[in-house]
Amino acid sequence: MPTYEYQCGKCKKNFEYFQKISDPPITKCPDCGGPVKRLVSAASFALKGNGWYKDGYSSAKTGSTKKETKTKPDK
């Protein structure tokens, strides 16, 4: 379930509320009963590590398509 951030117009308190996307927004502050409005806040979603989002759907290094082969020197 998403977390929505609200601010009360009466007591100016900011608070978070867990609710379904399909649920209507809350209209009253749980502390003072004043009117509230939903705030737009940054998501706390971060992608970390090596993956498709960083280098175009592949963990292979980009660059030359030539492959180097190592050979043993003759003795």
> Rounded to 5 degrees, what are φ and ψ at 52?
-60, -35
At 21 the three-state DSSP class reads: coil
As a whole number of angstroms, the distance between CA 21 and CA 25 comes to 9
pLDDT-based confidence at residue 65 (cuts at 50, 70, 90): low
Q: Are 30 and 13 in contact (CB under 8 A)?
A: no
pLDDT over 90 percentage in the chain: 39
pLDDT tens-digit readout, 27-63: 999 999 999 999 987 776 666 666 665 555 555 555 5
pLDDT tens-digit readout, 1-35: 788 899 999 999 999 988 898 999 999 999 999 99
Residue 40, pLDDT score: 86
Q: Are 32 and 8 in contact (CB under 8 A)?
A: yes
Which position has the higher pLDDT, 70 or 59?
Answer: 70
